[in-house]
Structure 1
Amino acid sequence: MEKINAVITGIGGYVPDYVLNNDELSRMVDTNDEWIMTRVGIKERRILTEEGLGTSYMARKAAKQLLHKTGVDPDTIDALIVTTSTADYQFPSTASIVLGKLGLKNAFAFDFWAACCGFLYTLDVAASMIQSGRYKKIIVIGADKMSSVVDYTDRSTCPLFGDGAAAVLVEATTEQNVGLMDSHFRTDGKGLPFLHIKAGGSVCPPSPFTVDHRLHYLYQEGRTVFRYAVTSMSDDCALIAERNGLNKDNIAFVVPHQANMRIIEAVAKRLDLSMDHVMVNIEHYGNTSAATIPLALWDNEKRLKKGDNLIFTAFGAGFVHGATYVKWGYDGSSVHEAK
């Protein structure tokens, strides 16, 4: 019996129309373009401003574009997984909302929560489901409305984040030289004090006190997170490269989580790669958490060729981190535009 592998066969994406640039942000909080660009490399970010719209709206838009671009029959989709830290509701799952809006009749749906590493971890889970032989087509969506948890009076965090979503179709293949080839994941539970949202969960439920004290917004101790992210993402990429015989001569692209330009540059330096081989869009979108890696793929799809060696890497809250080696499955230049 032929071995089954999982391969990405299409990408769809969505970012809101509203652009919050550094000049406008500097009128909201004590910051400026030079400070933001020097420290993190972000010029602007997209914000979902329409009232009553949440993460599921962006996820649905990305998935709808994916279905249109690939021409796949929606009735053949087996599962839909949304990875997010900004779910529409505590329950039901955001994925169930997206599935209902798309009208998928033969699929089940669930959310996966791994902060900024969500896309990496979810892609691996979807690949394992397909490799089991029980499923053939799975939609994986990374989506976050980070503006919903950002305190726009906190100059240290509000410049960092934006909103967006991107979706990939993961399919079964018996072609052995394409698809998800290897992954390395780790979690360091000591990260809790340094990156979290204090209130809203079962430990600290919502109350007038938590609202008055602005405890429902993201808190980050930037220097500590930066230090761990540089070390973890660089080490994870080096490990994946070493055990798969990858180097600067045969890596087409590294696709890093878009959190900080200095982190991205450190990862490239560790692999001895020029920035021409690193996908970067942080300047225009900021940190969209679980959406950053698939959005980078969406923006750069035309540059991808079948057989390209890619390394995805990310780091997030909980101090989750890892890297994934993917051998790309199709020529992006041949894909019909549907943005």
Structure 2
Amino acid sequence: MAVKKKPQNQSTFGRTLGRVFLLLIILVGALAIWLYQYASTPLEHRVQDFVVESGGVKKVADQLVKQGVVDQALPFLLLARVTGKDKLLKAGSYTISSPLSPWQLLEKLSNGDTTTLTFTLIEGWRWTDFRKALNSNPHLRHDSALMSDAELLAELGISALSPEGLFFPDTYHVDKGSSDLKLLARANQRMQSKLDKAWAGRSQNVQLKTPYEALILASLVEKETGRAADRPLISGVFANRLRIGMRLQTDPAVMYGVGESLDGRLRKIDLLTDTPYNTYTRSGLPPTPIAMVGDAALKAALHPASTTALYFVAKGDGSSVFSNNLDEHNSAVRQYILQK
């Protein structure tokens, strides 16, 4: 019986295909070995900070090259895609404190192991104090620096006449290199949350009509208080005056209205010069808060002490003395103010 031979062209095709597969296996193996070596070899860089902005893996790789974190974009890009990390990279500010391998760098970026900064807002700060601190912080991106107050409020989606008092004083942790608008938004959201909660739990006898009025009154209490225990009493005096239509006559509001032109202590002419914040010439609350307030001032504004006092004066030691009538008040002024 004759044995059929395979056609010559089919045999040649099979051998060629086998060689191609073998070559592919060799190439894939070589690539895997090269990629493993690349992934596990520490990058030759010292301690440094760098920033990753939002974007695809190619954009991230280019940013890393530009900042000197990696030498070439292609190997890093290939490693990210082969390992599936290319979709997980997170924007933020990072610090390399010791030599990292490309794989460790990918892990850092995909885990969002960012470097944060601490920024503290102080109770009693004015908006100008807050903005100055923002603009002078070297680790923030100053997106709001050239904005007017109106433009900034619009950018944050806040409907208000002024940014004064709309940000809660606290310590915030944000990524280095992040936008100052992000910090502002967080501080505003925190203040709104605090104000809503305080307003919901206000005393029944509070005469204030809106949460914003409570914020204004709290700012007056904040600036008038030298001793924490006096806050409810100071709020009680203001509540009594508002109830009977008596002008608040609070110096910090007048000083706020005078603004940058104030030279040291208030003068008589300052008390007589009418501004929207002059509580000696105008009745009721000022049009906006005059400072940032904390929990204690909010609580005092919405839970004033039950008192018959209509006056108070600072004693010089941080505390205040309270009086029910003008004669008592004038006596306290002579004792604690005029004798100085």
The two structures share one fold, judged by TM-score above 0.5: no
Q: Name the TM-score class by shorter chain.
A: under 0.3
Q: TM-score under structure 2 normalisation?
A: 0.23
Tell me which protein shows more helix as a share of its residues.
2
Larger radius of gyration: 2
Q: TM-score under structure 1 normalisation?
A: 0.23
Q: Which has the higher contact order (CA 8 A, sep 6+)?
A: 1
